[in-house]
Structure 1
Amino acid sequence: MPRINHIFMVLLTGLMMSFYFHPTELRALPGYNTKIMLAVFGVAMLIYNIIRTKDYSLSKGLLYSFMIAGAFSFVNYISLIINESDDYSYANYPISALTWIMGAYGAISFIRWTHSKVTVELVVRYLAGGAAFHCILSQLIDRDDSIRNFVTSIFYIADSMEEMQRLYSFGVGLDPSGVRFAVILVLIAGVLTLSKIVKKNIGLMIFYFLCFAIISVLGNIISRTTTVGMGLGLFVFAISTGLYKFVIKVSRIKIMRVFGIMLAIGIPIVVYYYNVNPSFQDQIEYGFEGFFSLFESGEFQTSSTDELSTMWVWPQDTQTWLIGSGLFLSKSSDFTYFSDIGYCRFIFYSGLIGFTVFGLYFVYNAIHFATRYPRYRYIFFLMIVVTFVVWSKVATDIFQLYALFYAFTDEEELYASLDEEEDTKQLEPIEEESNPALMPQA
């Protein structure tokens, strides 16, 4: 492929991955977000591949995942019936999961067309680049009215974003984006320290370090939930390099050199800009309010933690504890017990039974991919930590990440599990002969 065509495909693929992982709504097509559009495209691709390959097999891992999602939906419907509620927030969760799967199917197709293969590292590369782009764009939108007007003329941006004076990009803003940033930061730390491809490529090292720094700093300004991923990412880096022992492993010397150079350049730039730009100073103090509070008073405290401390509300009767009230504690359903906290909202919706099934759902997905990709198993285990930590702040989930990996073919899973080492060159090139997301397990 000529270089200019490849560059175009890389940019297009990056946009499609952003449309998938950070869904937004185009003003030209009101009522349809980009995730749904990609899902429609994914369905068309799936039908085409089924007709072409006559492969109707279904991944056992995906089947079991849908079975657990179905069980969660069943419990939710029982709660709605018992409580005579019409709050269907999570009652149709399998449909939501299926939409993510089909959207991932469509997004992964673009990676396959651009690179003739799909790997864990390639997926993370696009997620990292896209997140860093959105973080930078949020700053440009905040500082330049012409850029803001251009973006808002193409994409729908909720009026509440301007009213709350929070930074945003198209499809990016508030806590859900912070959760996605957290996931991406953990993935970046994983490929930086575990991928053999990255270890051999200084350019990729620099790219990932830059993305990690940009998302950690600017992402926290967008949503402080990003701190969860930053902390876990640094933990992965410290453990894998031996830095926590103050002894650097010989095999990690190259990556530590790059890390040191990036710190030597990056820290002075941030400090300088913090001191000369009052707006950026306010943003940094907001994004890292907890750390400033810890330094000044010895206590990690933010306005968000103070507000969340008032939202820990629990059921007052046994039935609600067991099967819930059928209400998701949204302002529209029950303002009296409104809460942002995921644990409270899930338990009030379908009780401990529903919450347990939903928690098991994410534990299963993480363990499944930890088994499929043993090189990255610790990263998938950390996704369990991300899930249960962010539920202490917001009710959301990270299935869109797992959906991307469910869209791999058998051959692509093999490439990814071997980290695209020389051994894989003996394998036949990937030509989409099996159906992504509808394939037998090896």
Structure 2
Amino acid sequence: MSDVDAKQLMERYDGFRGFGLAGSVTYDLAVFLAINLMFITYLVSVKQITGRIYLVVYLVIFTAAIMTGRSAWIGIFLSVFIIFWNFRRHTLLVKVLEGGAYISLFSLVMFILIQNFYPNISNVFIDKIIPYAFEMFINLFDSGELSTSSTDKLSSMYFSVSESTFLLGDGYYKDPNNAAYYYMGTDAGYMRHILYYGLFPSMCLYFFYLSCFYVIYKKIKGLESRFILVSSLSLYYFLVHYKGAFLTGSAMNIKLFFILLIFAMFIPTNQKVNVND
């Protein structure tokens, strides 16, 4: 992101969205933070880290994620699914509910403190952050539709193309008449790849990712738990690609993916990592 774009973003959202040090301060960072939440709930559920300590960590990352981009909500829901799946037994479910109570109490205390000692921050939170981060839920309550302004715009970025374009693409990633815009004005990931090189190369890209996730899955022991974690990660990658060219353009998340893949590939064939130990 250019300095100009970052400045415009800061002015548009009063400095709260993506306010941090990152190569990308919105969409990519939101997904990256949400993936962290998925790993936290997974490690808590397999008892590799202490749940109560990481409740605060989870809440901090959660807050940063929803302030950075609403695509994080998908990863947040998946992180909740991971921990509930692994905590299906009644005794463990009680611990999850207990953790939720701790988070709620901590959030309430922090909100009261901020409201009393930092009223300006409190006003930005109420007037800007909540309407932005929880827009889909506000719309669901008001109109019965789980939607945001960005998802409504995104739906118009998928459209019918000719058979030749669908199969072979048009060879354009950016608008040939104005490189500042994407070809045909679409920012949607699956659509951009179809328009650029058509169906077959697109399928090769998706097959590559699925194959690599399968390698990661096979190298880690713990049948149910590894399946839920890896399948949730792969699902998240493919879902967020619907919004933008995530699988080829999200630098930080592609690096994370290859770190996981290299880690899995360098595990000796006669030795597997048991993530439940």
TM-score normalised by the chain length of structure 1: 0.51
3-state DSSP class of the match of 1:345?
Answer: helix
Could you tell me how far 1:382 is from its partner in structure 2?
Answer: 1.1
Of the two, which has the highest radius of gyration? 1
Which residue matches 2:130?
Answer: 284
Among 88, 91, 98, the alignment partner of 1:250 is: 91
**Alignment-mate amino acid for residue 385 of structure 1:** L
Could you tell me how far 1:318 is from its partner in structure 2?
Answer: 2.0
| Cα pair 1:206 1:258 within 8 Å, conserved | no
Distance 1:236 1:318 in 2: 40
- Does 2:265 correspond to 1:419? no
Deviations 1:301-348 (A, max 9, x none): 212112212222342x22211121112246617656121111111111
Structure 1 stretches lacking a partner, 5+ long: 1-155, 243-247, 422-442
| Cα pair 1:157 1:170 within 8 Å, conserved | no
Structural mapping, 1:147-226, within 5 Å: 158-164=3-9, 165-166=12-13, 167-168=17-18, 169-171=20-22, 172-194=24-46, 196-198=47-49, 202=50, 205-226=51-72
Which residue matches 2:244?
Answer: 394
**Alignment-mate amino acid for residue 160 of structure 1:** D
What percentage of aligned pairs have identical amino acids? 20
**Alignment-mate amino acid for residue 386 of structure 1:** Y
Could you tell me how far 1:159 is from its partner in structure 2?
Answer: 2.2
Which residue matches 1:293?
Answer: 139
Bigger relative contact order, structure 1 or 2, given CA contacts below 8 A and separation 6+?
1
Could you tell me how far 1:381 is from its partner in structure 2?
Answer: 0.9
Among 362, 366, 384, the alignment partner of 2:234 is: 384
| Cα pair 2:190 2:242 within 8 Å, conserved | yes
Change over 3 Å in CA distance of 1:207–1:345 after alignment to 2: farther
| Cα pair 1:321 1:348 within 8 Å, conserved | yes
Bigger shift: residues 173-182 or 398-407:
398-407
Change over 3 Å in CA distance of 1:329–1:238 after alignment to 2: farther
Among 165, 169, 177, the alignment partner of 1:320 is: 165
- Does 2:216 correspond to 1:369? yes
Say what the alpha-carbon RMSD is for the aligned residues. 2.8
Distance 1:389 1:405 in 2: 19
Deviations 1:184-228 (A, max 9, x none): 22222221212x322xxx3xx234322322222221111111111
Could you tell me how far 1:297 is from its partner in structure 2?
Answer: 2.1
Distance 1:274 1:225 in 2: 28
Change over 3 Å in CA distance of 1:312–1:177 after alignment to 2: same
Distance 2:100 2:165 in 1: 53
Structural mapping, 1:230-269, within 5 Å: 230-242=76-88, 248-251=89-92, 253=94, 255-256=95-96, 259-269=99-109
Aligned length: 252
3-state DSSP class of the match of 1:294?
Answer: helix
Deviations 1:132-175 (A, max 9, x none): xxxxxxxxxxxxxxxxxxxxxxxx96221221234231214121
Deviations 1:90-137 (A, max 9, x none): xxxxxxxxxxxxxxxxxxxxxxxxxxxxxxxxxxxxxxxxxxxxxxxx
| Cα pair 1:274 1:284 within 8 Å, conserved | no
Distance 1:270 1:325 in 2: 53
- Does 2:158 correspond to 1:306? no
| Cα pair 1:327 1:334 within 8 Å, conserved | no
**Alignment-mate amino acid for residue 212 of structure 1:** Y
| Cα pair 2:189 2:241 within 8 Å, conserved | yes
| Cα pair 1:314 1:348 within 8 Å, conserved | no
| Cα pair 2:212 2:261 within 8 Å, conserved | no
